[in-house]
Every structure is written in structure tokens, then in C-alpha cells.
Amino acid sequence: MCIRDRSYSHPHAEKIIEDAKVIIRESETGQSLLTSCSHHKIPIQVIKGNGPSGFNPQSRIIYLQVSGKTTESNPKIILDLIKGLREAEQELIGFTAPDPAKDLMEYAAVMHSKALDAIVYVCRVLKELTNSSSFPVLLDEMKKIGHITVYEAYVKNASEEELFDAYAGL
């Protein structure tokens, strides 16, 4: 589902989303994430901008911020969408953030856990796409966004602690 009723909507939103979904559907995990979000009617909004992308739990929308000059999907958009799909699924299964006003340390711990979980799902989809033509450029993008060490740890079946160390840059 794509929303096009906002002034910040991207003129090529539908094509960008569909291009990304084609690649994500090649992965069993990606297909599952897409099905879950579709079943629960989680919309995807592509907006013009250069800021962060992700799921907004208050509005229940996955936002992808994309340059207004972009006309089709690219590796960053694909990885951002996978991450956003998992973030939406986290909310659907009850993996939500606590109130930061009550306990800031608990809030920080949960937010890092949620971030790592979403990155691990990106790694899972990426690994499932190993034999696809998209794999090399997606792997290059993981390097660019700084998560290649998490991917390398994931591929080696790292423990949760080792994954967190890779995520934290230790």
C-alpha cells in the first residue's frame, strides 16, 4: 500500500516501492515481512528527503525518505524497507519501547535491542539473496551504512552477544 496524499509524497513512490518489493520477495524472510505488513495494512510512505527511514509506531506507517531526483529503487531503499518492515512487525508482535520518562536506561536498552533485531532481519534477507543478482550491490550498501560487521557475524552464526558487539562496534 502506498499513500500519495501528502505534500511531501515522492512523485515516483509507487515505482520505488514496487521495485524494492520485487527484490525483497525473492527472500523467504522478506516475503514473510511483506505478507505480515500487508495483512495488518501497514502503509509505506515514500517522502522526499534525506533523513532517516523507518517505522513510526504512532502513525503506524513505514516512512522511506528518498531524494526527489530518485526515480527507481536502489540498494539503500531496499535495505531501509526491510528494516522498516521488521520494525513494523516488532510493534505487531508486542516488541514495543517502554516509556523513556519512567526508566531511561531500560528505554535505551530496548531501543538498541530493537535496532539490532531489525538489522539482523536485514542480514537474514541479505543472506537469503546470496545467489541473486542483487546480492553484490546490497552487500556493498551494508558496508556503506556501517553494518557489514553485523552481517559478517550473522553469517558466521554468531551468538547474541557477538552480534551485539558487532552492532556496537566492539
β-bridge mates for residue 44, sequence order: 2, 62
The pLDDT of residue 76 is 97
Is residue 2 scored above 80 in pLDDT? no
Question: Using one digit for the tens of pLDDT, what is the confidence trace for 130-163?
Answer: 999 999 999 999 999 999 999 999 999 999 999 9
Q: Supply the pLDDT for residue 48.
A: 92
pLDDT at 6: 54
What is the pairing mode between strands 54-56 and 61-66?
Answer: antiparallel
| Separation of alpha carbons 126 and 131, rounded Å | 10
pLDDT in tens, 95-138: 999 999 999 999 999 999 999 999 999 999 999 999 999 999 99
Average pLDDT, the chain: 94
